[in-house]
């Protein structure tokens, strides 16, 4: 999920929406290449129609892939030292069994995201989200850098001096499944990435079907900012998980898109109501603002509040652009809440 520093103007977003699918698809549909002595590493991938190597761990040689901007990049056929610049990239490579050599702190955090903390112990932190410290990146000696939705061309230029194998992995409107497949292909594990998604979708469907009275419930998904609540559009990551479970969104939130709305005033707080209300924050200021408004009559009048169906969640998971490990967390949070009562 794009945070505020990744937001786009309305006009720019219109243009980006037209290009997003083509951009991320470029990361999936790759041409193949090899070092002159590594022709055997370039094997056609099944069902790709592009000559890309099949997923797996190939040693030696290079492959040519297009990143989410359409830029052709030569990458190692079997990358060994991967640096990731967003938690979405981190989530993806960990889900594919790759332990990176450099990571950045989580969105809105000064440390790696808590839900991945046990998986990244001992890994060097090379900066904050999309703000790498170049000396630390150099020290990590990467053979592949996954740069998330990095849009700063000067930073990309510096990274590509460290290793030309630097990829922008997400276009601004890509959903997590498309980005994950692209990352899977970039690290030569597309088959595995497809299986991860297939397994997740089956689990989400079954979990949703197993809900009793709450099957198909309308779930409101909200991030509380210092200046008020923002509900998430239907194609935003956490919303997508709910929809994969067969749940719905409240009528006021039934809007296509993958962003947060502008912060709402108390006069419009009814927009965040639903059968269930999932609330997350990203900063201490946001948490403080939420605590303050919870004492106000307008908040107490919400249907979800009256029925004690408000669930506080980790905004650093729910408010991101997501990945398979984050999706499993969101799925678990929803299932736990909606399975706890049949009322």
- The CATH code of domain 211-339 reads 3.40.50.1980
Kindly state the DSSP code that residue 29 receives in the 8-state scheme. Answer: S
Q: Is the pLDDT of residue 23 over 90?
A: no
Q: What is the pLDDT of residues 57-105, one digit of tens each?
A: 445 799 999 999 999 999 999 999 999 999 999 999 999 999 999 999 9
Handedness of CA 145, 148, 150, 153 (dihedral sign): positive
> What pLDDT, on a 0 to 100 scale, did the predictor assign at position 174?
87
> What pLDDT, on a 0 to 100 scale, did the predictor assign at position 28?
52
Q: Is the pLDDT of residue 26 over 60?
A: no
> What pLDDT, on a 0 to 100 scale, did the predictor assign at position 96?
98
Q: Is the pLDDT of residue 18 over 50?
A: no
Q: How far apart are CA 59 and CA 76, in angstroms?
A: 8
pLDDT band at 52 (very low <50, low <70, confident <90, very high): very low
Report which of 278, 332, 325 is spatially closest to residue 88, judged by C-alpha positions.
Answer: 325
Domains 4-199 and 211-339 fall in the same CATH topology: yes
- The CATH code of domain 4-199 reads 3.40.50.1980
Report which of 188, 2, 12, 143 is spatially closest to residue 86, judged by C-alpha positions.
Answer: 2
Q: What is the pLDDT of residues 246-260, one digit of tens each?
A: 999 999 999 988 888
To the nearest whole percent, how much of the chain has pLDDT over 70? 82
257: left (phi over 0), alpha (psi -120 to 50) or beta: left
State pTM to two decimals: 0.82
> What pLDDT, on a 0 to 100 scale, did the predictor assign at position 341?
62
> What pLDDT, on a 0 to 100 scale, did the predictor assign at position 59?
52
> What pLDDT, on a 0 to 100 scale, did the predictor assign at position 60?
73
Arithmetic mean of pLDDT, 121-145:
97
Arithmetic mean of pLDDT, 28-33:
44
Arithmetic mean of pLDDT, 12-35:
44
Pick 325 or 7 by higher pLDDT.
325
Output the CA angle 338-340-341, nearest 5 degrees.
80
Q: What is the pLDDT of residues 314-332, one digit of tens each?
A: 988 998 899 999 999 999 9
Q: For 11-15, 120-124, 274-278, 281-285, which range has the lowest pLDDT when averaged over its residues?
A: 11-15
Q: What is the pLDDT of residues 181-229, one digit of tens each?
A: 999 999 999 999 999 999 999 999 999 999 988 999 999 999 998 999 9
φ, ψ dihedrals at 317, nearest 5°: -105, -55
4 burial (CB, 10 Å; 0-12 / 13-18 / 19+) is exposed
> What pLDDT, on a 0 to 100 scale, did the predictor assign at position 58?
42
Q: Is the pLDDT of residue 146 over 90?
A: yes
Instruction: Quote the mean pLDDT of the chain.
Output: 84
Q: What is the pLDDT of residues 154-186, one digit of tens each?
A: 999 999 999 999 999 999 888 999 999 999 999
Domain boundaries, the chain: 4-199, 211-339
Q: For 33-42, 131-140, 303-312, which range has the lowest pLDDT when averaged over its residues?
A: 33-42
Question: Which contacts (CB < 8 Å, 24+ apart) does range 128-135 have?
Answer: 128/104, 129/3, 129/85, 129/86, 129/87, 129/104, 129/105, 130/85, 130/86, 130/104, 130/155, 131/104, 132/83, 132/85, 132/104, 132/159, 134/158, 134/159, 134/162
> What pLDDT, on a 0 to 100 scale, did the predictor assign at position 43?
29
Which strands, in side-by-side order, build the sheet including 124-125? 124-125, 102-103, 82-84, 144-146, 166-167
What residues does 219 pair with on adjacent strands?
276
Q: For 51-60, 275-284, 325-334, which range has the lowest pLDDT when averaged over its residues?
A: 51-60
């Amino acid at each position: 999920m794009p945070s505020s520093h990744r937001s786009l103007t309305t006009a720019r977003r219109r243009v980006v929406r037209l290009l997003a699918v083509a951009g991320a698809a470029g990361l999936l549909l790759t041409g193949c290449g090899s070092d002159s002595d590594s022709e055997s590493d370039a094997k056609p991938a099944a069902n790709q129609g592009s000559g890309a190597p099949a997923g797996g761990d190939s040693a030696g040689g290079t492959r040519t892939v297009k990143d989410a901007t359409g830029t052709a990049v030569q990458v190692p056929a079997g990358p060994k030292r991967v640096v990731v610049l967003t938690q979405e990239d981190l989530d993806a490579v960990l889900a594919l069994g790759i332990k990176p050599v450099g990571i950045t702190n989580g969105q809105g955090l000064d440390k790696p995201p808590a839900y991945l903390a046990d998986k990244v112990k001992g890994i060097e932190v090379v900066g904050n989200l999309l703000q790498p410290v170049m000396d630390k990146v150099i020290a990590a000696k990467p053979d592949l850098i996954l740069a998330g939705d990095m849009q700063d061309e000067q930073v990309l230029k510096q990274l590509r001096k460290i290793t030309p194998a630097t990829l922008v992995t997400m276009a601004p409107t890509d959903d997590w499944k498309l980005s994950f497949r692209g990352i899977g292909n970039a690290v030569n594990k597309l088959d595995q990435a497809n299986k991860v998604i297939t397994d997740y979708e089956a689990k989400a469907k079954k979990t949703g079907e197993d809900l009793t009275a709450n099957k198909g419930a309308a779930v409101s998904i909200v991030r509380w900012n210092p200046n008020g609540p923002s509900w998430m559009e239907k194609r935003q990551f956490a919303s997508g998980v709910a929809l994969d479970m067969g749940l719905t969104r409240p009528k006021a939130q039934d809007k296509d898109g993958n962003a947060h709305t502008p912060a709402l005033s108390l006069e419009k707080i009814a927009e965040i109501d639903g059968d269930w209300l999932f609330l997350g924050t990203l900063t201490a200021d946001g948490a403080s603002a939420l605590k303050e408004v919870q004492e106000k009559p307008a908040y107490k009048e919400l249907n979800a509040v009256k029925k004690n169906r408000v669930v506080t969640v980790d905004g650093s998971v729910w408010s991101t652009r997501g990945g398979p490990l984050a999706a499993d967390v969101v799925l678990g949070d929803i299932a736990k809440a909606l399975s706890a009562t049949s009322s």
